Amino acid sequence: MNIIEKIQLLKERRNAIILAHNYQREEVQAIADYTGDSLGLSRKASMTDADVIVFCGVRFMAETASILSPDKIVLMPEPNAGCPMADMITAEGLKEVKRSHKGALTVGYVNTTAEVKAEVDICCTSANAVDVVNSVKDDCEIIFVPDKYLGHYTAMKTGRTLLLWSGYCPTHIRILEEDVKKQKSEHPDAEVLVHPECTPPVRERADRVLSTEGICRYAQTSDTSEFIIGTETGIIHRLEKENPLKRFYPASKRAVCPNMKLTTLEKVFWALDEMKHEIRVPENIRARAKRAVDRMLEAV
């Protein structure tokens, strides 16, 4: 048997499902039962009757799956795959800001650790950050963590003043305004779709600013046949698979997340074979973090 056949056999034996983020390697996406964004995959995990979830992504994503599915075994094939943005904020750092702004409500991007989620009042995604902030009373001060660029975009769209943490995605800031201009000059009929984690100059060059799932949905429904994609390049595989008659060009080939590429087929096999690298969030943290996620789902 080849490695893919071995993985399929182990998956059946363990009653497991494999979830892969849109930014994973092509071959990892190809063996996944579901491909999507971090929260969407975690919600999918919570609805499955599988006993084991193999989460191909970065650590905060596997933690979110554990938060929503405490009765399941969540395995992470590459436990060292972290998220630099998530690591830019700590629970203690957030507590300090909250002490300085008593009465403020904290909105936390899902791209945070479980410990930080436990300290925020309500979570958000890149797709619903605007709706979450709009759900907060007008007279309430809002702390937004950790991505300053998503926070800036959300503030512009809502007209609210947000107290921003100075975090960012190192991959998305590699996409430069001149990259978009160059691609547009080469593909003048292409629509420019960028992620809100991009810098303001890049967003200003975009036809639409969308989450990863928003980019995938829009590409399927748009009459346009060419697109310049301003997010991590791994999403191009899914876009091409779902839209074989359309063309997709990365805004920048530098937009590669090294942590997302750490997961390999071999590591997926080893995780299932040895049932190793389990991610389990302690209950005292999990319950508080889940409240923040639940509040988001109730609000939007």
Q: What is the pLDDT of residue 298?
A: 86
Q: Mind listing the pLDDT tens digit for each residue in 166-200?
A: 999 999 999 999 999 999 999 999 999 999 999 99
Q: How is domain 172-250 classified at the CATH fold level? A: Rossmann fold (3.40.50)
Q: Does residue 36 surpass a pLDDT of 80?
A: yes
Distance CA 57, CA 212 (A): 14
Q: What is the pLDDT of residue 269?
A: 98
Q: Which long-range contacts does 140-144 make (Cβ < 8 Å, 24+ apart)?
A: 140/103, 140/104, 140/105, 141/101, 141/103, 141/104, 141/105, 142/104, 142/105, 142/106, 142/107, 143/94, 143/97, 143/98, 143/101, 143/104, 143/105, 143/106, 143/107, 144/106, 144/107, 144/109
Q: Mind listing the pLDDT tens digit for each residue in 199-237?
A: 999 999 999 999 999 999 999 999 999 999 999 999 999
pLDDT (mean) for 143-163: 98
The full set of domain ranges for the chain reads 3-82+260-280, 86-168, 172-250
Q: What is the pLDDT of residue 43?
A: 86
Q: Does residue 9 surpass a pLDDT of 80?
A: yes
Residue 299 confidence class, pLDDT cut points 50, 70, 90: confident
Q: Does residue 38 surpass a pLDDT of 90?
A: no
Q: Does residue 42 surpass a pLDDT of 90?
A: no
pLDDT (mean) for 126-155: 96
Instruction: Determine the residue type at 175.
Output: I
- Please compute Rg for the chain using Cα positions: 19
CATH 3.40.50.10800 holds for 3-82+260-280: yes
Q: Mind listing the pLDDT tens digit for each residue in 84-117?
A: 999 999 999 999 999 999 999 999 999 999 999 9
Q: What is the pLDDT of residue 45?
A: 85
* Site of tokens 């750092």: 93
Angle between helical axes of 212-221 and 235-242 (0-180°, round to 10): 20
Q: Mind listing the pLDDT tens digit for each residue in 43-92?
A: 888 899 999 999 999 999 999 999 999 999 999 999 999 999 999 999 99
Distance CA 17, CA 51 (A): 8
Q: How many angstroms separate the Cα of 22 from the Cα of each of 91, 120, 276?
A: 27, 26, 23
Alpha helix segments (H runs only) across the chain: 3-14, 26-31, 38-47, 59-68, 91-100, 114-117, 129-134, 148-158, 177-186, 200-204, 212-221, 235-242, 265-274, 283-299
Fold matches, 86-168 and 172-250: yes
Q: Does residue 300 surpass a pLDDT of 80?
A: no
* Cis bond before residue 146 (omega within 30° of 0): yes
Across-strand partners of 55?
Answer: 19
Cα 160 to its chain centre, rounded Å, is 24
The CATH superfamily label for domain 86-168 reads NadA-like (3.40.50.10800)
Q: Mind listing the pLDDT tens digit for each residue in 255-291?
A: 999 999 999 999 999 999 999 999 999 999 999 999 9
Phi-psi region of 282 (alpha: psi -120 to 50; beta: other; left: phi over 0): beta
